[in-house]
Structure 1
Amino acid sequence: MDAMRKQLDVLMGANRNGDVREVNRKYFDRDVCRLFLAGLCPHDLFQLTKMDLGPCPKVHSLQLRKDYEEVKAKGTENFDRELEDMIDRLIVECERKIQRALKRLADEDAKAAIAISVSEVTQSEEVAQLSKEIKEKMKEADIFDFEGKTDDKIKTMELVEELRSKRADLQATLLLDAFNKDRAAIPQPIPPPQMATLPAPPPPDARTQELINEKLSKAEALGEQGMVEEAQKALEEAEALKKLAAARQEPVADPSKYSVADVRITDQKLRLCDICGAFLSVYDNDRRLADHFGGKLHLGYMLIREKLKELQVLNVMSHFLL
């Protein structure tokens, strides 16, 4: 209910019920969210993820943001520093999570995982253009929101989702290309001479494949929660199921019984996204990678990193003008 109330306040104004106290509210009041006025409130970023902060306890108002932007343009107020401090804290915690994960994996296998620069690998002119279009459409949505044009805002946000999906697919393709090169560099065991002429192993039966998919999904969820050992174990169990199913001529009777104890896998080659800290694997397919890029956690951290760069540029410009 609190979240719905907040959305209605932003859309229709905090005074939608005729409360006189709300009419007299000013942008500098203590119960107004300064981070929202400055452009980004963390409570809006990670809804329904493990980073969900719940609804913001302070007022979000587009009218008050407009009032603030007017006085900011005159040099009277500037809440950018508060927003930059908040973003710094979130990014520092994310970087710590990445380093903790790398250290824990290195203790088990020094080559088990590395942090990959997703922001560099997945950058292209087309991705940059899509990101620019998304920003422009988000600004349009805010204008429609402020003007009370709900239908236009909804249509614009639907277009934003389409653009995000297209960008995620493109980023997934770029990262998959990098992973394919990475996979090609992984040494593969040479089969014994007597095994060289054997036919290809049969694919897993439907039930086994379903369990493999479940364990892969579980590994991804655990990885996003920072549970490194558990994620590694789930990935190993999935690989163990694949090998055990391939080694048998008939379907595995009860594949859920098999675990890492049956087949020990040491070459999972995990990668940690340098934007959000989530686990990726060089064996992920394009669909799983696209889901990662379109996820709220990744999008949220991408937004705050972009906002930080923007604030830093503005800060340098302001010092230069002074």
Structure 2
Amino acid sequence: MAVTAAAQLLDELMGKNRNVAPDEKVKPTDWRDAIYCKYYLVKLCPHDLFVNTKNDLGTCPKIHDEDARQLFQEVKNTDQKKLQYHVEFLRFCASIMNDLERRIDKGKQRLALMSNSTEAVPKVAKNNQEQINILSQKIEELETQAEQAGIAGNVEHAQGILKLCDQLKEEKDALLKPADRTQNNNSDLTQEKQMEVCEVCGALLIVGDAQQRLEDHLMGKQHMGYSKLKEIIDEISQLVKDTRELLYGPRISEKRSREKDSRKERSRDRGKKKDRKYDMDYEQAKTKTEKDEDSERDRRPKDKSRLDDRSHRRDSHRDREHRDKERYEDRHRNRDREKRKHRDSSHHHSCSHRRHKK
């Protein structure tokens, strides 16, 4: 990096053709050559804005050539390569400004945390002060009691009260020490609380600081650098917009803006569609579950009725079999009864006939 910086310095002092021999043909300058810094050709190189500050971007690796810049400025703005350089310049500056916005937000969050801590400190001090007041009142009462006991001649009782007073005084001293530290911390936090974040460069400023220090900050390299960079971004952005309107017409420029907005809208719509799809899937699953439950409830009475019919038919079949069995048994008993009756009758006639013969 040091060699590159020295070479650039020699180029500025002696020209970029300082090493060309007298009989050697000098190569003409072409601003499209990759060795030249695009940002320097457009307006300025951001690497030169914050030198020797905490936001120093370092040394630019490209060559800053005034002749190349002059040639670049002479080219019409409608040149596609020149338009591309402008767009790349805006993209690089946008990354720098995004870092600045994050630093500003971080500074505001830090001040907000300090503010919350400062608000919490008085509550703790107030609680300690209340306890200290209670202990002081108790100590005074006990000292009065000890004095009265000593006057009455009750020395042992007075000594016991004084020992209790000593214990309470120790507790009071223990509370007074943190209170002193809290008061010191409170003053420090109050001093830090009186700060604000610079909306231009993100630096922390003391509210109500001396006018000279405020002017030194406003004229500082960091504040001036970011302020100048914002002005250049607005200027080049308008130039790019006008160039695109000349090349493609206002409709194309508006179309690009609409496409950018539509991309954001599509991104939001994708999120909404995901949520909607999830809701639809949930509703479908819920509806299917409810239908299954309804069909299950409808099927239960049918199954029960079917089971009841089967049970009824089974019972009817058993009853029929039982009746048939009883009918068969009754028929069989009647047949046996008829047989016995017929046999008895035959036997009776036979006996009667034998008696008649005799």
Normalised by the size of structure 2, how large is the TM-score?
A: 0.44
TM-score (norm 1): 0.49
Q: If each structure's helix is expressed as a fraction of its own residues, which one has the higher value?
A: 2
